[in-house]
């Protein structure tokens, strides 16, 4: 799954409210943010498997915890319904004092083929 493919899926859950890394300045919540937090080659006993293991962090921001959690549930439903659903790893709930926003976060793990074909 590429960044662009993930954006398409997240926009199914929250249309025009998903962004890579940062929401535009002054953009009103709720919204989803996603970013690659780790990637690396996948190897087997035969060597490189022509695919990279990718971990994304997805954050749902909203004024209330209930709304942030509901938007994350919608995002996870869209991911699980995709043709190649990722593994959902761990998550958490946070309140950010400086922005006064609730954040629900999860990590997902998927694959990316640098040659353009998802394994």
Sequence spans of domains, the chain: 3-112
Q: What pLDDT shows up at residue 19?
A: 97
CATH topology of domain 3-112: STM4215-like (3.30.2000)
Beta strands in the chain (DSSP E): 18-20, 31-44, 47-62, 87-96, 101-112
The proportion of the chain whose per-residue pLDDT surpasses 70, expressed as a percent, equals: 86
In order of 10, 50, 53, 116, the CA distances from 4 in angstroms are: 10, 20, 16, 12
Residues 6+ apart with CB under 8 A from 47: none
The string of pLDDT tens digits covering residues 34-85 is 999 988 766 666 766 667 789 999 999 999 999 999 999 999 999 999 988 9
């Amino acid at each position: 799954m590429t960044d662009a493919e993930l954006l398409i899926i997240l926009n199914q859950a929250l249309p025009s409210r998903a962004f890579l890394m940062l929401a535009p300045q002054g953009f009103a919540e709720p919204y989803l943010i996603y970013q690659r937090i780790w990637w690396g080659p996948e190897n087997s006993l035969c060597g490189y498997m022509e695919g990279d293991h990718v971990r994304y962090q997805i954050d749902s921001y909203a004024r209330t915890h209930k709304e942030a959690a509901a938007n994350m549930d919608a995002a996870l439903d869209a991911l699980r319904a995709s043709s190649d659903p990722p593994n959902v790893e761990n998550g958490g709930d946070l309140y950010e004092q400086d922005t006064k926003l609730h954040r629900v976060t999860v990590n997902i793990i998927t694959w990316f083929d640098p040659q353009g074909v998802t394994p």
